[in-house]
Amino acid sequence: MSRRRSTIMGSRSCRSSCPLTGIACVMALLQLVTPGQGHTHPVLTYKNASTQLGQLVTSSTLVWETYDPKDSKQMQSAVEGGKYISDEEHYPIYVCRVTIDGVRTSGHTEKKQQRHVCVAALFKHAINENFDVLMNRGHLGKIAWKHWTKFNAGIPVGAILIGDESYIARHRAVHPPNAEGGESHRGADYNLGRLEPVGLGKIKVAENDREKYYDDGEVLVETEPFSYELRDIKLDRLRTSLRENMTELASSVLENRGDTYATMEKIISYSFDYLQYWGSHEGVAKGLPTKIYEKNVATPAEINWALKRSEKRHENKAVFSKLWPGTAINVTLLGNYVTLEAPYTAKLSAFYYDSESVSRKISAEVRKSYLKDVKMEFSPVYWIENGTLVPTTTTTSTTSTTTHATTTSTNEPTPIHEPPMVRVEHVGDKHSGPDSLEKTLNDSTSTNEVNSHEAPENMSSKDAALAGFGVGGSNNAIATIQATGYSVLAVVSIMLLNL
């Protein structure tokens, strides 16, 4: 209660001393209360098993992020390295990275007074408060601890680089025996460190206040998928935007240069750009082949994830009209070019060569541009010789008397009593029309919220823990969010009442 009272008093002092306006002061206070996000750094992984041909590539699913003790949600995406077990506590430890004497090395996190520290060593034991945490954003990176010995050939494929020439590794901790003669469980079950591939290689970890070398252990590796699939797509219809633009596609002339009344025909061709972009998402590799399964579409669209796909589509229309000799008519084809933008939710499945697929709900934004409502406009019929319009109503008049009848007529061209009927038929493949997403707007959801803290489908409990999912941690984070949200709301409400 005292903590809440001090926050409210702080808001009053802000109102009295803040040089900004009342609303601006509220926004400044909100920025102080809202947890910040740590700085991110790219992760490099080893691409090839051969030490001669191997190379480093940037991971699309993992990232190093600076630890922020004020961010209660940060560790929900951290990569787990083991467990800390004691009589009083039992919690996951996470992979961390620090720089000691200019050299980067990895270790594991432990809790000290409700915040995390990084336990890592380089010739000496060290506990660090400033460090990076390995994050699996979006929880779509497939990572595992792979057994390693010095007799292995080279570096495991997918090994994650720490610094210049070392990789994340660990070795099972050995604890002293307890009173019953068994192994006691007081501390981390694994000591995390690094694999240095010099000579046959060594795994170096922090153990018992010093650095120790081992000829075997486990190396953290990432397996990237070879493709994705997107299914169960639902748009947020309340935030869907449709922009329409009537566009001239093509124009032509139908003319009858013969001697008889006949049907004239012409094929009109046109093209338009069909664009689609399905957004990006944390932990999803950019450029990877992705199949999009939309509702009521027989063949899935194939794109490269997070890249805009553009294709030129072609269509043909056959235009018919009956015309009198020496007459013509202009025909113009118009189409409604539509751009659809909308947030959406969907199930994204990642496929791997050596294991089952992993699926989870994601949220992103889609943008499509396409053509629909192709229609025709035509001019009045005109004479080919001089371009004058052909009359379609009679101009003859008749005058009658009781003694005789006199008929007078004008010198205008002979009128046509049958105006032309123009029709259009599609020829070949049709690519225009309402988009499949536009058709499903009525079936879409009114919100676009996805619980990103749920473990992906087809993921075992062990893999879920490694990827950063924990029931206890998630519940604690939710409770913290709810408490923080309540205090911010209370502060804002009181300040607005006092303005």
Q: Tell me which residue has tokens 């689609």.
A: 276
At 127, which amino acid appears?
I
Of the listed ranges 2-6, 61-65, 115-119, the one predicted with least confidence:
2-6
Beta carbons within 8 Å of 206's beta carbon, 6+ residues apart: 107, 119, 120, 121, 125, 126, 191, 192, 193
Of the listed ranges 209-218, 260-269, 311-320, the one predicted with least confidence:
209-218
Share of the chain above pLDDT 70, in %: 71
Q: Domains of the chain by range and CATH? A: 39-223 (no CATH), 227-381+417-443 (2.170.15.10)
- Which pLDDT band holds residue 35 (cuts at 50, 70, 90)? very low
Q: Burial of 52 by CB count in 10 Å (0-12 exposed, 13-18 middle, 19+ buried)?
A: exposed
- Mean pLDDT for the stretch of residues 489-497: 41
- Which pLDDT band holds residue 454 (cuts at 50, 70, 90)? low
CA within 13 Å, CB half, 223 = 17
pLDDT of 33 reads 36
| pLDDT single digits (tens) 62-103 | 889 999 988 888 888 899 999 998 878 889 999 999 988 888
pLDDT of 126 strictly over 90: no
88 or 307, higher pLDDT: 307
Closest CA to 322 of 384, 260, 379: 260
| pLDDT single digits (tens) 189-242 | 898 989 988 888 899 887 876 788 899 999 999 888 889 999 999 999 899 999
Whole-number Å distance between alpha carbons of 168 and 220: 6
| pLDDT single digits (tens) 380-432 | 999 999 999 988 654 444 433 333 444 444 445 555 556 678 889 999 999 99
- Which pLDDT band holds residue 371 (cuts at 50, 70, 90)? very high
What's the distance, CA 151 to chain centroid? 42
pLDDT of 124 reads 64
> Where in 22-166 does DSSP place strands (E)?
40-46, 56-66, 80-85, 90-100, 103-111, 116-121, 125-128, 132-136, 142-149
Of the listed ranges 243-257, 280-294, 333-347, the one predicted with least confidence:
280-294
- Which pLDDT band holds residue 276 (cuts at 50, 70, 90)? very high
42 or 22, higher pLDDT: 42
| pLDDT single digits (tens) 165-183 | 889 999 998 776 665 655 5
Of the listed ranges 52-56, 394-398, 452-456, the one predicted with least confidence:
394-398
Whole-number Å distance between alpha carbons of 10 and 32: 12
Mean pLDDT of all residues belonging to the chain: 77
Measured CA distances, 267 to 250, 257, 270 (Å)? 11, 18, 10
pLDDT of 474 strictly over 60: no
- Mean pLDDT for the stretch of residues 240-265: 94
Which secondary-structure segment (H or E) carries 479?
helix 471-498
Whole-number Å distance between alpha carbons of 220 and 78: 14
pLDDT of 358 reads 84
